[in-house]
Structure 1
Amino acid sequence: MLQLTTNFKFLLLPIISVFLFFSTEGFSQSKKNKKKPNIIYIMADDLGYGDLSSYGQQKINTPNIDALAANGIKFTQHYSGSAVCAPSRSSLMTGQHTGHTFVRGNKEAGNDKKGQIPLPDNAFTIAEMLQQAGYKTGMFGKWGLGFGTGDPNNQGFDEFYGYNDQKLAHRYYPPYLNHNQEIDFLVGNNWINTQTYAQDKIQDATLNFIEENKDKPFFAYVPFVLPHAELISPKDSILAKYTGKFKEVPYTAEDKYSSDYGPDIVKYKYCTQDTPYAVFASMVDRMDVYVGQIVAKVKELGLEEDTIIMFTSDNGPHDAGGANPDFFNSAAGFRGIKRDLYEGGIRAPFIVSWPNKIKKGTVTNHISAFWDVMPTLAEVAAVPKPNTTDGISFLPTLLAKKKQKQHPYLYWEFNIKNGRKAVRKGDWKAVVYNVNKSGETELYNLASDPSESKNVASKHPKIVAEMQQIMKVAHTNSSVFPIN
């Protein structure tokens, strides 16, 4: 072996040192620059489990959402946070079920305050968690969790565009939308004239946010207003696909919750509609088109393999403004609709796409709920799971790993009509209505009776007693949304 002279050794050492410095620096830099995946969470409003063709819908086509399922994973036993808007969103944002999350019902702030009861300042949301993980965060659509402390900008969102007040979101042609702390007046809308379809404007803001943040990890929370009532669509090619297709039952001014655009409009009510079935179908179709545009934007920017796209609904199907969930089989044969704690009111479609991470065309029966999204995204973003969450990460299910933890139970409560509670434990489901008046505990086996048509409580008193105990343990008192 050749021996290095002393002088040559001294000449070589600086070269080796420089090489090692740049090699280590480069390795460190590549680790530092490794981009966390973008996250787009899309949530429909009042879309039933059966309103997507990938979940059995026969009268409406949803090819873009179906493509997400074909390219990713479809959950068959996923649950919303609640049976109505605000508490479902609170459950999602805080990672807590309705026995713990602050907002547990739809309730106005009152005392001349705008909007709904706000999330408190000490609430910790998915957006705050991802902000801390280095994500740019944006929220586009219907918020419904209050102004002040509850405002999206105060709950972790860098950008907000849409409706804060969910009662304003009863109208698709409002005079304005909220953009952060500013008011964005919509061209041609003044409660009498209807020119600008608000959901189109929200979609533009969503696409702009993705474009503007393509070079950094971003979280886009996209809670569509569609297909919540009122039932109204622009007169375009989407509506034309369904015009004349169905035998219609008009929604008229005789309905006490109807009010048309004009000088005497009651803003929180719904417009009349001569062709509610065609319009409802077009609203679901339009939502599907929006999803297709979001996917196309992600592909156009070369972000497809670095972006997780999730799609779900906030609760079961509605029957307002002329909508008919029976006609469309929107609950897919499950019992109940929006406001019910039976399966039709809370079981939600859930699809996740993440190319080259999630195996295409996967279907899972893993039991999960809205409060699982926070710990799942914590694991995705490589940050600790907040100790406030009731959720369990379902990332192992997404990635086809074997060590998927299971819930000991899922719990819901809802303080309307003397109170409602429900528990799912394995295949067993317990439901109590009229909680405040010692209502009967019903028991169903979802494996043999998914439509909850056979109450078997009398045959299984021990299981009923166990479910009743869970209902006590899972509940914490709320002076704002009391339930016994």
Structure 2
Amino acid sequence: MQRINILLILLIALMTFSCGEKEEQKPNIIVFLVDDMGWQDTSVPFWTSRTPFNDRYKTPGMERLASQGMKFTQAYATPVCSPTRVSLITGMNAARHRVTNWTLRFNASNDRRHDSLDFPAWNVNGLSPESNIERTVYATPLPQLLKEAGYFTIHSGKAHFGAISTPGENPSTLGFDINIAGHAAGAPQSYYGTKNFGNLPGNENSPWPVPGLEKYHGQDIFLTEALTLEANLAIDSALNTDKPFFLYMAHYAVHTPIQQDDRFFEKYLQQGLDTIEARYASMVEGMDKSLGDIMDHIEKRGVSDNTIILFMSDNGGLSAGARGGERHTHNKPLSSGKGSAHEGGIREPMLVKWPGTVTPGSINDQYLIIEDFFPTILEMAEIQNYNTVQTVDGQSFVPFLKDATATAGERPLIWHFPNQWGLTGPGIGTLSAIRKGDWKLIYYHATGSFELFNITDDIGETTNLVDQEPEKVRELAKVLSDHLRDVEAQMPTYKSSGEVVPWPDEVIAGAISAL
């Protein structure tokens, strides 16, 4: 009898130890990144009140996530896609990593011609995990660190980290165990399975057809749905291991081409939207269904309570072209859209669910920027004392998640775009910018001119306060210039003289000395 009791005690102890080990497993982490989704492209209001756009779009998945997590009202990315994605995966500010415009072909710049400026030799080939690839930023990628720490790492959707034929083109070289449909291009040839997602005769030399989804070719399925089905299958593969998983769910939607998702298209036409805007709204709702489907899947698999979800967009909503209606109005009350340093081009919808840590339904008005995801995710994953070959600029926002009253003070946020995007509009240009506290200063390289806005009082950036607030201009120009000098940021040169465009504080000093 005594021997039996001892065996029972040992068995109970072993079971308790095993349960304890299971309870202490690191959290699963999902980064749900949308392409070109604006701050207003959702039924979740990120402003102080609802707007007509919040009533236009149907995003119940986002509403559900917001009710279960924290809504960030002042989350920032860069004006265009590749800089954001490289900043997220490296923790570096764009001024430092120099992938300042979108990438595609090896050694080929996508800058449009500028009348008065020549552009610097920026890192047109993107991110590389290898040190000997020209015109790339050599960095230790986030998924590689997670993989080394025991995570099962999954990439699904748009990659757009490195140019064609470089190591960074393939997410598998960046630390992902599974790569679903990720390659060098930043947009799909087609969203339609009936069109093989662009893999048709005549497109063999095009970079745009989406790879790796042959099982859906010829089917009546939208790309967003196919990526979601494959992501959930990959989650199942991860759950068959003893590892936590990291899913980078990076949708091609809602990037052009604007093509209707027939599951949702008709009801937006019935709302009275024009055809283009109805197509766009259907793509938004299809993306949101993906979010809901993934949340349903992890609940069904019993891992929802140990899964963190971070929702973000890579830049502001497209508004300078290809949309229906009046240009530069699709993100109102924010000014402008994708490609712009105005709020419409860089302020993003962001949600974070962290069961047991984040207060459900909470709101955070502190500002943060895309490179902050890198140290935050590593902290969430309980990875400490990690080594990277790059300097990490991001700051963890875990304190915000644990305490909604936490603040970062007047930390400066920096944007740097020594390039020329393809379209024009408010805040679109070759520029550098800074947000510090309530204030934002934009410096336009070609003209040496400035815009100063009090974002708290003037969210629509309607009133340039440069003349009324010269001391604030001088203060912000100095902080911006010091940062750009510190990271050895690249500047354009004037075609007329070959001279390098001066730092913003040098322009101000020159103007003062001329008085």
Give me the TM-score of the superposition, normalised by structure 2.
Answer: 0.76
Indicate the residue corresponding to 2:102 in structure 1: 106
Residue of structure 1 aligned with 2:75, choices 75, 78, 89: 78
Give the C-alpha shift of residue 167 in structure 1. Answer: 4.8
What residue number does 1:54 align with? Answer: 44
Residue 143 of structure 1 corresponds to 159
Per the alignment, residue 198 of structure 2 pairs with 174
- Structure 1 residue 103, shift from structure 2 partner: 1.6
Greater alpha carbon shift after TM alignment, 287-296 vs 437-446: 437-446
Does structure 1 residue 389 correspond to structure 2 residue 392?
A: yes
Count of matched residue pairs: 435
Q: Cα distance 1:331–1:319, how it changes in 2: closer, same or farther (>3 A)?
A: closer
Distance 1:149 1:481 in 2: 28
CA contact (8 A) 2:157 2:252 kept: yes
Give the aligned partner of residue 119 of structure 2. none
Give the equivalent residue in structure 2 for 1:238.
Answer: 264
Distance change >3 Å, CA 452–CA 170, structure 1 → 2 = farther
Distance 1:88 1:285 in 2: 23
Q: In the alignment, what sits opposite 2:35?
A: 45
Q: 1:20 to 1:168 in 2, by over 3 A?
A: closer
1:21-70 Cα shifts (integer Å, max 9, x gaps): 99699759945872111111111111110111112412111111111101
Given the superposition, is the C-alpha separation of residues 99 and 112 from structure 1 closer, same or farther in structure 2, using an over 3 Å criterion? closer
Q: Residue 229 of structure 1: which of 256, 262, 287 is its match?
A: 256
Query: Post-superposition shift, 1:221?
Result: 0.6
Distance in structure 2 (CA, Å) of the matches to 1:163 and 1:20: 49
Contact 2:320/2:327 (8 A) holds in 1:
no
Partner amino acid, structure 1, of 2:478:
Q
- Aligned partners of 1:68 and 1:367: how far apart in 2? 20
1:94 correspondence with 2:85: no
Distance 1:208 1:320, change over 3 A: farther
29-38 vs 339-348, which deviates more?
29-38
The alpha-carbon distance between structure 1 residues 300 and 96, as it changes in their structure 2 partners (threshold 3 A), is same
Does the CA-based 8 Å contact 1:442-1:456 persist in structure 2? yes
Whole-Å separation in 1 of the counterparts to 2:490 and 2:33: 29
Alignment CA distance shift 1:377-1:247 (3 Å):
closer
1:443 equivalent in alignment to 2:452: yes
2:155 maps to 1:126: no
Q: Deviations over 1:263-288 (max 9, x none)?
A: xxxxxxxxxxxx21211111111111
Query: Equivalent of 2:184, from 137, 142, 165?
Result: 165
18-27 vs 401-410, which moves further: 18-27
CA offset digits 1:418-456 (Å, max 9, x no partner): 6211100111110122x1x34212111112111111111
Out of 308-317 and 458-467, give the one that drifted further: 458-467
The aligned runs of 1:250-399 (5 Å cut-off) are 275-319=275-319, 322-324=322-324, 330-384=330-384, 388-399=391-402
Unaligned runs of 5+ in 2: 110-122, 130-137, 192-196, 201-205, 421-428, 494-499, 502-515
- Flag the 1:157–1:86 CA change in 2: closer, same or farther, 3 A: same
Determine the C-alpha separation between the residues in 2 that align with 1:325 and 1:243: 14
Please give the secondary structure, in 2, of the residue aligned with 1:312: strand
TM-score, with structure 1 as normaliser: 0.80
SS in 1 for 2:157: strand
Sequence identity percentage: 29
Query: AA paired with 1:427?
Result: D
Q: Is the 8 A contact 1:170 1:229 kept in 2?
A: no
How far apart, in 2, do the equivalents of 1:85 and 1:283 lie? 18
- Secondary structure at the residue paired with 1:457? coil
Q: Which amino acid aligns with 1:155?
A: L
Instruction: Find out whether 1:207 has 2:226 as its counterpart.
Output: no
What amino acid does structure 2 have at the position aligned with 1:422? A
Report SS of the residue matched to 1:367. strand
Residues 158, 186 of structure 2: 8 Å contact kept = no
Query: Cα gap change, 1:184/1:291 in structure 2, threshold over 3 Å: closer, same or farther?
Result: closer
User: Structure 1 unaligned runs (5+)?
Assistant: 1-10, 249-274
In the alignment, the residues of structure 1 paired with residue 90 and residue 491 of structure 2 have an alpha-carbon distance, to the nearest angstrom, of: 17
**Do the aligned partners of 1:230 and 1:320 also contact (CA within 8 Å) in 2?**
no
Q: Does residue 174 of structure 2 align to residue 155 of structure 1?
A: yes
Change (3 A) 1:447 1:404: closer
From 439, 455, 458, the counterpart of 1:428:
439
Shift of 1:112: 8.9
3-state SS, counterpart of residue 423 of structure 1: strand
Q: Taking structure 1 as reference, are residues 206 and 406 closer, same or farther at Cα in structure 2, changes over 3 Å only?
A: farther
C-alpha RMSD of the superposition: 3.4
Match for 2:152: what amino acid? K
Contact kept, 8 Å, 2:415 with 2:432, in 1: the verdict is yes
Q: CA deviation at 1:156?
A: 1.4
Amino acid at match of 1:36: K
CA–CA distance in 2 between the matches of 1:426 and 1:239?
41
CA contact (8 A) 2:29 2:247 kept: yes
Q: CA 1:471 to 1:390, structure 2 compared with 1: closer, same or farther past 3 Å?
A: same
CA distance in 1, matches of 2:330, 2:211: 37
1:185 is matched with which residue? Answer: 214
